[in-house]
Amino acid sequence: MATSTLGEYLRARGVSRRQFLRFCATSASLMALPPSMVPRIAAALEVARRPSVIWLPFQECTGCTESITRAHGATIESLIFEAISLDYQHTLQAAAGEAAEHAREKAMKDNWGKYLLIVDGSIPTANPGYGTIAGVSNLEMLKEAASGCAAVVAVGSCAAFGGIPQANPNPTGAVSVSDVVKDKPIINISGCPPIPVVITGTLVQYLTFGKIPELDALGRPKAFYGQNIHDRCYRRPFYERGQFAESFDDEGAKKGWCLFKLGCKGPVTYNACATTKWNNGTSFPIEAGHGCIGCSEPKFWDKGGFYQPLSAGDWGSGRTIAAAAGAGVVLGAAAAALGRKRQKDVEAKQS
Ligand code: FSX
């Protein structure tokens, strides 16, 4: 735990009150809190002690770290580096070898029972040699680091659910954090990779309210994973009207119609991509013309079917959704026909 408060730390780095309040307002909107909560967030963050954070990267592609280092929005530049005391992250830190491991051990000892443990990547269990850091297997390092933490944040679908390393045939026996750690609160921030502002937004929630945010059945913060992509998608009106792209280069695709028939998994994928977007709020896959592949859901890789409409049982509620989409097509077609008739009636009256 750092000795300075977050407010003192940010002021010492030249962050103005105006910037700070703008950051609090952005955080409130990300957490779907009313503007009236901004002063409370500001007051809580002002006096928050920056918690010590130990970040362990295991079996992963480093996409999650890439994601957070490009954070926007809920940051004063990049909250992850400002609001927490990142005492160990071997991908990012300058220290290496014994010095790095010493930093981790010291942070654990000095902050026993209080530090936050962030994990990205899955944990290999088939053979201890499949993943080691400083000669310690990933499995042992996770158990050791988790024993003294206040809570674990599993960043990315690999840490949250096993992810791509766990996909068939899972040669390393990859498991998720919650498969190993049973006696600590775990917050899952899924996505391959997760949205950076969802990572930082979750940390802000933790710092503001001093407790684990409300989680869904899969351990994800409801503020960010409470709705599916489909419900917040700007292409949703096309779905309702039964207007679907049938190929990636047809007229429907050019007109930006719904990508459901091209395999979009938005209806069964819970995440905030459609609202927070990516790359400084620039866009997200569906806006770029590609359906959602469901990367924030468990076993998304094995469920596959990225270019097939939701219809098989692998996506769980896929059958229901496909039926709903079928109804949507029928209803949409009926609505479209009705709309055309009304338009003709109006034109007939005008002539
Ligand atoms: Fe997994 Fe993250 Fe996908 Fe990659 O650390 S969630 S493979 S973006 O890097 O763990």
Half-sphere exposure of 287 (CA within 13 A, CB side): 15
Q: Above 50 in pLDDT, residue 335? A: no
Give yes or no for residue 163 CB within 6 A of ligand 1.
yes
Q: Looking at residue 213, what DSSP letter applies?
A: P
193 Cβ closer than 6 Å to some ligand 1 atom: yes
Write the DSSP symbol of residue 76.
Answer: S
Distances (CA, A) of 344 to 124, 333, 348: 64, 16, 6
Cα-to-centroid distance, 253 and ligand 1 (Å): 30
Mutation test residue for ligand 1: of 55, 158, 177, 198, the one with most atoms within 8 Å of CB:
158
Tens digits of per-residue pLDDT, 204-260?
A: 888 888 889 999 999 999 999 999 999 999 999 999 999 999 999 999 999 999 999
Phi, psi of 13 (to 5 degrees): -100, 15
Domains identified in the chain and CATH numbers? 6-225 (3.40.50.700), 230-350 (4.10.480.10)
pLDDT bin (cut points 50, 70, 90) of residue 272 is very high
Ligand 1 close to Cβ of residue 322 (< 6 A): no
- Contact 63 CB / ligand 1 (< 6 Å): yes
Q: 118 pLDDT exceeds 70?
A: yes
Q: Where are the alpha helices (DSSP H) in the chain?
A: 6-12, 17-30, 38-47, 63-68, 79-82, 97-110, 138-147, 157-161, 177-180, 196-209, 222-225, 236-240, 251-254, 273-276, 300-303, 318-350
Q: Ligand 1, residues 59, 164, 188, 301: which to mutate, most atoms within 8 A of Cβ?
A: 164
Helix 17-30 vs helix 196-209: angle between axes, to the nearest 10 degrees?
100
Read off the pLDDT band of 340 (50, 70, 90).
Answer: very low
First-to-last C-alpha distance (Å) of the chain: 77
Q: What is the mean pLDDT of residues 132-136?
A: 92
pLDDT for residue 78: 58
Q: Is residue 164 in contact with ligand 1, taking CB distance under 6 Å?
A: yes
The residue that leads in pLDDT, 349 or 65, is 65
What's the order of all strands across the beta sheet hosting 116-120? 85-89, 52-57, 116-120, 151-155, 186-189
The residue whose C-alpha atom lies closest to atom 2 belonging to ligand 1 is: 64
**Tokens 């806006």 belong to residue:** 287
On the 0-12 / 13-18 / 19+ scale of CB atoms within 10 A, 317 is middle
Report whether residue 167 contacts ligand 1, using a CB cutoff of 6 Å.
no
Q: How far is the CA of 157 from the centre of ligand 1 (A)?
A: 7
Which of the pair, 81 or 284, is modelled with greater confidence? 284
Q: Which of residues 80 and 193 earns the better pLDDT score?
A: 193
* Protein residue closest via CA to atom 3 of ligand 1: 192
Rounded to whole angstroms, the maximal C-alpha distance in the chain is: 86
Q: SS3 of 59, please?
A: strand
Residue 233, both tokens: 């998608």
Amino acid at site 51:
P
